[in-house]
Structure 1
Amino acid sequence: MQWDKLFTARRSGDADDKTINPDKLRTSFLRDYDRIVFSSAFRRLQNKTQVFPLPGPVFVHNRLTHSLEVASVGRSLGRMVGSAIADKYKNAPFSFQEFYRYELATVIASACLAHDIGNPPFGHSGEDAIRAYFNELDAATMQKLNTALTPNQLKDFQKFEGNSNAFRILIHAFNEPVSGGYNLTLTTLASIVKYPCTSANGFNKASGYISCKKSGFFDTEVNTYQSLANELGILRKDGFENVYVRHPYVFLTEAADDICYRVIDLEDAHRLGITSLEKIQELFLPFFKEEKGYNSYEKINEKLKDIRDPNQKVQYIRAIWIGLMTQKVSSIFLDNEQQILEGRLEKSLMDLLPEKDQQLLKEINTYSYQHVYNYKPVVEIEIAGFHIIGALLKAFVEAVFEPHRAKSAKLLQLISQQFPIQNGDAFLYQNLQSVVDYVSGMTDLYAIDLYRKMTGISVREL
């Protein structure tokens, strides 16, 4: 792959002869950022669980605040890397210099804003709930699906993936006459596809390919990704029809998310009284043992002594740790430039940190798993998510299979018009996608409210 071919202002849904946006102030990439911020799918993230149940007496992160913070880190990564690339290739054309010095930061920030836009309600357990429903169908229903769907289409449901769903939301027209979805640039779209492969090829860690760790696009979006890859010169993995190497910018989008959730989930845990300031210091301050200057271990401890509020101490640790990790992963990206361009880098940037940092990250991961992600209220909301999402899917999928029933007709009326349900067995895959589109797009509170109404737990008063 080539740095000068990996970006374009062309958008999804553009006609071949469409003129590229000539505005030099509000550029195409800034417009991507704005379109995501003003979208209803992004706005709904404010009521989707990040880790801890919402709402509560203590403010914790939701998917929206998490995405905004990831975008902030992603912008810094894009600026550091982009400036270094522009400096290295000083003789490149003006458009190359302009993009890497000024626009790459916006592209990565936009991709970070959208990275969770396809996640269903109730955190990652929402994805598990969708997968579980389609893997645990009765034999007769499973036989119908095996007959009507291709293996890859069936895997789209049995291995439902929020990353694939994000790509679908951003590029799909749903029930509108205009194609292209949000009409984002191909550059921004490519920057969010962490696992550029189909569902049938994904979830295959044994392959050794980072592209196949999960999946990046559903059956309906395969052709779109193929066109995008051809336009940007993204390489295809040898021996595969629909497995590609990562677009280089994806590594930066992923790194911003990896940096944020490791420290921010523990910051939330501290505010909720699940963990202590002492534990936060124990987990994060050792990263600075070998640092010099304002980042030295001694300087940081002096600063912490001057801060009185424990929450402010944790915020300070969070800020300096994010700054340190941003510098480190930027350097790692640039050090691995050739491997990235050749599509040979099969690890995340965080996984390439020095061994001493890897051991410290392992301690953070272990502690978070034991004391944060298995915290009782977190587990309770995950169980509730399984039950609610499973019940909603069961009702709507049965209505799709038996539309002639009186109750089915009423249920299908509840599904938004943007997710059309059509008559006939030939539309089974599309109809099931519409059901999953509807359910996965719900906020936590909307899903709970609809579940209560459908089951008669609560009834609307006229």
Structure 2
Amino acid sequence: MTQKNAHDLNAPELNAPELNAHPRAPYATLWEESRGRLYPEDPSATRTPFQRDRDRIIHCAAFRRLMHKTQVFVAPEIDHVRTRLTHSLEVSQIARSLARTFHLDEDLAEVLALSHDLGHPPFGHSGEDALDDVMAPYGGYDHNDQSLRVVTLLEKRYPDFDGLNLTWETLEGLVKHNGPLLGGGPRAVASEQDLPPTIRAYNKRHDLALSAHAGLEAQMAAIADDVAYNHHDMDDGLRSGLFSIEEVSEAVPHVGEAFVQVRRDYGDLDRRVAISEAVRRLIGEMIGDIGRETRSRLNDLAPKTVQDVRDAGYTMVAFSEAMGKKEATLKSFLFERMYRNERVNAARAAGKATVRGLFAIFMNDPEQMPKEWGVGVEDMDAPQRARVIADYIAGMTDRYARREWKRIGGVL
């Protein structure tokens, strides 16, 4: 079947140079050679396929709900701390800048950054842990798998198909941005039967080449996520008083050096400005390292097409060994002083209890869910019912989950 986009019907045809102002490297993912969509659509006269994918993500309901989903702080009342939405925007900025540096498809890098957290449930990783626990008898819960579920099944915007009907390259990057899922590697599983359920089912219809790496744009989005959350979580922790500049400087030497340099260059700055400047420098240092290491790997491989990147057998976009150690030190500090902080953990524990409680009640009495979710669920077998309930809970924002729990008699 084919669909026409009403916005594009009378637009003039554009050629490749007009749609891509910057020259692209031979190993970039070329939109002209896209493997297409599961449901064929007429091309747009004004946008490349990857630009259309980006626009579909920005306009979907799941993206809007990221505004009120936990990054670190549950349902934050402090305006300046990150949410899943602001985090995704920051990842997008870094990914797009990296892609531009290497003459890749910036739009593909952007859509992958914007969509990478769509599958996160309320209450951050605590909510995901709780859903995975209660879903263990029914195939488990994985936020990457749920992201694919959102964009291929759960979004209801088009009359001819469920989901957003994104391109093969976007879906490939969404499920494989951290590496291959089959055939070996740190993220790979032993066999197709061990794949998360949505990825396994979708791959049978639209083979995503799960044994290969994704293209460079997806790898850029993945490492941009690491850059963003490490430094911006540190920023939020400092501004929220979970730890001091002195404490993080003592525990993480390269962070301490950044603050020393800021004081050397500017003297006694306002604390807020000093934090911003140090974080800016730390991000710049890390991005510079990614550029050098990635350039070295590309020079060694000398890929002539994106398929050469996919078949390389190792990640092309990476930190140097020295920077990897620095990143690990910062992660370790944040894990101990921020993610395990008593204030943060109390809210997370309440969030986990809320997810567990909602799941148990809806499994026992599906009519407690809104009509559009609850109709017919009672007649489903347990695995089907559980998956629908997990979809409903995973789509909740922090504050909506709390309201639902209060509505059905839960105690916060």
> If the length of structure 1 is used for normalisation, what is the TM-score?
0.71
Query: Which of 211, 225, 250 is the matching residue for 2:203?
Result: 225
Matches within 5 A, 1:335-350: 335-337=296-298, 338=301, 340-345=309-314, 349-350=318-319
Q: Does 1:161 align with 2:161?
A: no
Given that residues 71 and 109 in structure 1 are in contact (C-alpha distance below 8 angstroms), is that contact kept between their aligned partners in structure 2? yes
1:272 aligns with 240
Map of 1:262 onto structure 2: 230
Asked if the contact 1:12/1:180 (under 8 Å) is kept, the reply is no
User: Cα offset for 1:21?
Assistant: 2.0
Q: Which structure 2 residues correspond to residues 178-189 of structure 1 after superposition, within 5 A?
A: 178-189=160-171
Q: Which residue of 2 aligns with 1:125?
A: 126
Residue in 2 that maps onto 1:368: 334
Aligned partners of 2:248 and 2:256 also within 8 Å: no
Give the aligned partner of residue 114 of structure 2: 113
CA contact (8 A) 2:249 2:259 kept: no
| 1:42 paired residue number | 63
**TM-superposition CA deviations, 1:431-460 (whole Å, max 9, x none):** 3221111001000110011101101669xx
Deviations 1:144-194 (A, max 9, x none): xxxxxxxxxx33x2xx11111011101215667532512322222222223
Aligned counterparts of 2:329 and 2:395: Cα–Cα separation in 1: 34
Shift of the alpha carbon at 1:344?
1.3
* Residue 210, structure 1, aligned to residue 187, structure 2: yes
Aligned length: 374
Paired letter, 2:37: S
**Amino acid corresponding to residue 64 of structure 1 in structure 2:** L
Kindly provide the amino acid, as one letter, of the partner of residue 209 in structure 1. P
**2:400 matches 1:446:** yes
Aligned-residue CA RMSD in angstroms? 3.4
In 2, are the aligned partners of 1:9 and 1:29 still within 8 Å (CA)? no
Does structure 2 retain, via aligned residues, the 8 Å contact 1:41–1:441?
yes
Preserved CA contact (<8 Å) 1:274 1:372: yes
1:227 Cα deviation from its structure 2 partner: 5.3
| 1:278 maps to amino acid | E
Matches within 5 A, 1:54-203: 54-57=75-78, 59-81=80-102, 83=103, 100=104, 104-135=105-136, 154-155=138-139, 157=140, 160-172=141-153, 177-193=159-175, 194=177
Shift of 1:77: 1.2
Q: Which runs of 5+ in 1 are unaligned?
A: 84-99, 136-141, 143-153, 238-243, 290-295, 400-407
Contact (CA 8 Å) 2:219, 2:316: kept in 1 or not?
no
More displaced stretch, 49-58 vs 119-128: 49-58
Show CA shifts across 1:221-267 (max 9, x none): 4353355546xxx4x53xxxxxx544443321110000111111111
1:324 aligns with 2:285: yes
Contact 1:28–1:185 at 8 Å: present in 2 too?
yes
Question: How many Å apart are 1:277 and its aligned residue?
Answer: 2.4
- Matched position secondary structure for 1:79: helix
CA separation in 1, counterparts of 2:327 and 2:119? 27
Q: Secondary structure of 2:188's match?
A: helix
- Aligned-pair CA distance for 1:419: 7.3
Q: Distance in 2 between matches of 1:448 and 1:437?
A: 16
1:14 matches 2:39:
yes
Aligned residue for 2:4?
none
**TM-score, normalised with respect to structure 2:** 0.79
1:430 paired residue among 384, 388, 412? 384
Q: Aligned partner of 2:401: which letter?
A: A
Q: Give the aligned partner of residue 314 of structure 1.
A: 275
Q: Which runs of 5+ in 2 are unaligned?
A: 1-25, 302-307
Q: Which amino acid aligns with 2:223?
A: A
Contact 1:388–1:448 (8 Å) recurs in 2: yes
* 1:396 CA displacement: 1.1
Write the distance in 2 (CA, Å) between the matches of 1:326 and 1:419.
47
